[in-house]
Structure formats: structure tokens, C-alpha cells
Amino acid sequence: MMSRIHPIAGSVGLLIIATFWISTVVSELSGSTEAIVAVKQAIPWALPILIVALALTGGTGFRLAGDSTLPAILAKKRRMPFIAGNGLLVLVPSAIILAVLAGRDEFGPLFYGVQAIELIAGATNIVLMSLNARDGFRITGRSTR
């Protein structure tokens, strides 16, 4: 059961973060204040789903890995604290701050500073989670590379 939950939860988490990131960039490039506000205020509503997906991914991953010393599993274990810390300490607070600021139409230096940090942290998590997915595919034999 865990071997099915783990990749599904990981995929959901990665997809949500990528959707947040792409939606933010597209709304900014559109130049529409309404689009930016809509995106920034929608993101916090999806955070509970993201948090559950990532918790399931981490929990099932550590149980599946056990005491393995496979290099790919050790690499995944090393990345997880950065992914979790980045999410809980940077991405979640940033999403909430940006939602509040967007709701107040406060698009000044604070908004764009926090958004820059959020985009960098989001891109970092996308890369780290993609590397974990790649290693997961290699571990399970679903990738021949």
C-alpha cells in the first residue's frame, strides 16, 4: 500500500507546487492586477492539500527506505529536510503574506520581495522534488537511465 501512496502523494505535491509557481509567473506576466490577486488568494486554499501530500510522501518514503544504504535512497533522505524546511519556513508563510498583501492591493517592495523569495524557494523545491522522483524511478526500476 505504501509503495502506491508514496509516488502518488509525491506527484500531487510536485504538481501543486509547480502549479503555484507557473500560475504566479503567468499572472505577473499578464500584467493584470485582478489575475495576480486571484492567484495569490487561491494558493492558501490549496495549502492543506499540499501539506498532506508532502507529509504522506515523507512518511511513506522513510518507512519504505528503512535502513537502506542505497546511494539513491540516501540522496532522497538528504534532500527531504531541505524540501520540508523550505516549504514550512519559506513557502507557506510567503503564500499567506502574499495573499494578505494582494487582498489589500499592496503591491509594493514588500510584496515583490516576498514574491521573489517565494519563486526562488518554489523553484528550489521543484528541482529537489524532481530529483527525488527521478531517484525513485531508478530505485523501482521504472527508469533505465
Domain limits for position 43 = 2-140
> What CATH number is attached to the domain comprising 10?
1.20.120
Q: Name, in order, each residue with C-beta under 8 angstroms of 142's C-beta and a sequence gap of 6 or more.
A: 136
Q: Which residue has the cell 527508469?
A: 143
Q: Name, in order, each residue with C-beta under 8 angstroms of 67's C-beta and a sequence gap of 6 or more.
A: none
The number of folded domains in the chain is: 1
User: 46-92, pLDDT tens digit by residue?
Assistant: 999 999 999 999 899 989 888 888 998 999 999 999 999 999 999 99
Query: What's the CA gap between 29 and 111, in Å, rounded?
Result: 16
The pLDDT assigned to 13 comes to 94
In a domain, 145, yes or no: no
Query: What's the CA gap between 42 and 115, in Å, rounded?
Result: 15
User: 31-44, pLDDT tens digit by residue?
Assistant: 899 999 999 999 99
Query: What's the CA gap between 91 and 114, in Å, rounded?
Result: 10
